[in-house]
Structures are given as C-alpha cells and as structure tokens.
A and B are shown apart, each in its own frame.
Chain A
Amino acid sequence: MLEITNLACSRGDRQLFTGLNFSLEPGSLLYVEGRNGTGKSTLLRTICGLFLADSGEILWNGESTQSLAEDYTKEVVYLGHHNGIKDDLTGLENLRISTVLDGDDVTEDQIWNALKKMGLKGFEDLPTKVLSQGQKRRVALARLLLNSSKLWILDEPFTALDVAAVDLLQSVIAEHINDGGIVILTTHQEVALTSGQIQRLELGKKKNKNV
C-alpha cells in the first residue's frame, strides 16, 4: 500500500503543489490529471524517488520509502518520457540487461515471449535504433511483462503507440491491477478495468478530488 501525506514539491522558485494527500490500496489505479506544467511528471518522479520533495512523506506499507531505499525500488517500475533503452543494443539485449539489474530471474524464452506479445516478432534481433518510435516504446513496455514489481509508475505510457498497442497495454495494466498491483499513470486515455478501484487526482486546481 502506498500512502502520500502532505507532499509538497517545487521546481526552481515555482511551487507545483502542496499538501497533497492520498493513499492507494493494492489493486487500484490512479490517474494523475492536469494541464501541462502542473507537476504531473514531477509527482511521479517524486514518488519513485528520483526527485526530492520539499516536505511530506511517501510511505510504502507504512515505512518511509527513503529508509526502505533498495527494498522499495525493487517494488517499483518507472517508465518516463525517455524509454530507457540503449539504441545500439537489440531489444533482446536491452531487456536482458534491465531484468538482470532489476534482480528478476527471467529466462531467455520469457524475454522472447514478452517481445512477441508486444508485437515485435521478427524485430528482436535488431538494434533498437533502426526501430520506429512506437516500436521502441513497445520494447520499453515489454519490461512490464517481465517484472515482478508491485507498483507501476507510468508517465504518458500511450504516447507513440498505435491503436492495437494501446489496447494491448490497457489489458496489461488491467491484468496487473487484477493481480493486486498498483498503477499510477498520467494520460488522457481511459483504461477499461474489470475489477479494482480507480482514483483520480487533478493537479493545478485548488482542491484535490477523489472519485
């Protein structure tokens, strides 16, 4: 369970948000909404620990994420604006490296399957620099399939994806939530859920509402 209490962040001299409170139970999805520049990405980066908040606390299962350190990062997958893949390596190699670094025990077959599921059959062995934007995004998203982390933090995961891939990703997210995972994402697309609860957080307004 993820709890945020009294979180405040600023970039430079600009206060992005203050007094942010919410908590997420296992099996829930949080949409972070708001206009450009309201601090959506900053909030996401703060939650995964890449950005230091001015004040407030982020608790994972009742413990501060900063004191948990590596025990917390094990539970988190973050996908930001950058795909986090190396252009000179093939999709296969990229995934192999990231799973090793994530400490997941993944077989070669599982990686092939993940790439196949993401619609990259036949492209596994090509350096990712020859792939299109959407295909690179798919390689990055294949990490989600190979990961055992509970908390997914996805910053605009649907950008550059075609309709089929958006559908696929939506079902992957829904499945993760069914399994008791937590997903936080910023997007304008709705994800069809079969179970679990959806929360919304709108940044840039005076009051935060939970639905």
Chain B
Amino acid sequence: MRDLTLAMRRRTDVLTTLFFFIIVVSLFPLGAGTEKIILQKIAPGVAWVAALLASMLALERLFASDFADGTLEQMLLTPQPMFILVLGKVFAHWLLTGLPLVFIAPLVGLQYYLPNEAVGTMMLALLIGTPVLSLVGAIGAALTLGLRGGGILLSLLILPLYIPIMIYGAGVVSASAMGTTDLQAYFSILSGFLILALVLSPIATAAALRISVE
C-alpha cells in the first residue's frame, strides 16, 4: 500500500519503465527492416528481452530509497514477519513495472504482425513470467544494496537467472505463433517457476536485506 502511494507521487518512475519497453521493442522493426516473416520470427524474443531489461531497470530502486532514508531499518524492526513485508514490496513493484507490460503487449503484437492467438499467449506468458522476474530480481537487489556500482553487479547476478524464464516465455509465444494449440506444457513450467519463486524468493530476500543493513 505504502509503495503504491509513493509511486503515485513519483509517476515518472513508472512511466520510464513502460516507455523503455515500448522504445526497445520499437527499435527492432526500424533496425531490422519491416519484413513480415523476419519480424514474426523475432517478435517473442524481442518482447521478452525488452521485458527483462525493463524490469531490470526498475529493480535497483526496489530497496535503494528505503535503504537511504532509514525506513528499511525500521521495517526490519517491526513486529511483522519480513517475509510478508518483502512479498508486499515485490508485489507493489510488480504492479507498477510488470503488469503494465502485460497490457502493452498487444502493441508489440501489432508491430510484429503476430496472429491474435499468439498475442493472447504472450499476454498470459508475461502475466505469469513478470512476477518471477520481480521476485528473483528482489534477491539480487537486496544483495547489492549499498554497494558501489551495484547496478552493474545486479545485472550480472540476475540476468543469468532470468534465462530459463525467457526461454520458456519466448518459446510459448513462438509455438503459439506457429499454430500449435497444445501449450499446456510451457505454461506448467512457467507456473512452476512462479510458485517456486513465490515461496523461496521472499525468504532469501529477507535474509539478504538483513546482511545488507549491517
């Protein structure tokens, strides 16, 4: 709740992420030409890479401002379990950076001549995948808190962990674009990632925050 109020006060931060995604996605048709077949082929990959980078961009700020003004310390000292607080913060972060990407996905579909059902698949895949990005990213953000050059280190730490999500996320969109109707397996794996991240990430993040605050 608190983070949402804060974000409303600083609307530009949210829009930056969204516009970053749109611009990265739009650059490819400009650079690679507007040939329909090529664009259709690269669309899933481009959309996911852009989503990764966009969520990466906002991650640094997840805990940094709380750390700087001492509110993070206060949070660690509340009688609330840190697990819940972290989950709340990550959820707020996802609402502001992940969810907008899901809604902007049809625009990507339009630019890349994706068939309608593939656009639907992409939205669903992003809906399941982006929370995983936020959750996994939170661990990295907590670990690199207060370090010099933390942003670059964060990318090095987190991007490799994003790879599995990207492979399956992009895979399901490609499969759907080629007309495959049985996508159950892809979604099962993506949901599996989500459940795993949902359970383990807040614990790891809370532990990392305690270390960083020392």
Interface residues of A (CB under 8 A from B): 48-52, 70-71, 73-74, 76-78, 80-89, 93, 97-98, 101-103, 127
Asked if A84 and B73 make an inter-chain contact with CB atoms under 8 angstroms apart, the answer reads: yes
**CB of B80 within 8 A of chain A?**
yes
Collect the chain A residues with CB atoms within 8 Å of residue B6's CB. 86, 88-89
- Name which residue of chain B comes closest to A97, CB basis: B2
Collect the chain A residues with CB atoms within 8 Å of residue B148's CB. none
Asked if B69 and A78 make an inter-chain contact with CB atoms under 8 angstroms apart, the answer reads: no
- A78-B74, A86-B71, A101-B80 are known; give 12 further A-B pairs, CB within 8 A: A49-B77, A71-B79, A78-B73, A80-B70, A82-B69, A85-B71, A88-B9, A89-B2, A89-B5, A97-B2, A101-B75, A103-B79
Asked if A82 and B78 make an inter-chain contact with CB atoms under 8 angstroms apart, the answer reads: no
Asked if B214 and A101 make an inter-chain contact with CB atoms under 8 angstroms apart, the answer reads: no
For chain B, what secondary structure do more than half of its interface residues adopt (helix, strand, loop), or is it mixed? Answer: helix
A93 contact from B5, B71, B78, B81, Cβ within 8 A: B5
A82 contact from B9, B70, B77, B79, Cβ within 8 A: B70
Tally B residues with Cβ within 8 Å of A: 22
B93 CB to nearest A CB, Å: 16
Interface residues of B (CB under 8 A from A): 1-2, 5-6, 9-10, 68-71, 73-81, 85, 213-214
B214 contact from A52, A77, A102, Cβ within 8 A: A52
B213 contact from A50, A97, A101, Cβ within 8 A: A50
Collect the chain B residues with CB atoms within 8 Å of residue A51's CB. 214
- Name which residue of chain A comes closest to B79, CB basis: A74
- Name which residue of chain A comes closest to B71, CB basis: A84
- Name which residue of chain A comes closest to B72, CB basis: A84
Asked if B80 and A127 make an inter-chain contact with CB atoms under 8 angstroms apart, the answer reads: no
Asked if A84 and B214 make an inter-chain contact with CB atoms under 8 angstroms apart, the answer reads: no
Collect the chain A residues with CB atoms within 8 Å of residue B80's CB. 70, 101, 103
In the bound complex, CA of A207 to CA of B69 (Å) = 35
B69 CB to nearest A CB, Å: 6
Task: State whether A83 and B76 are in contact (beta carbons under 8 Å apart), knowing that A50-B213, A50-B214, A127-B9 are contacts in the complex.
Answer: no
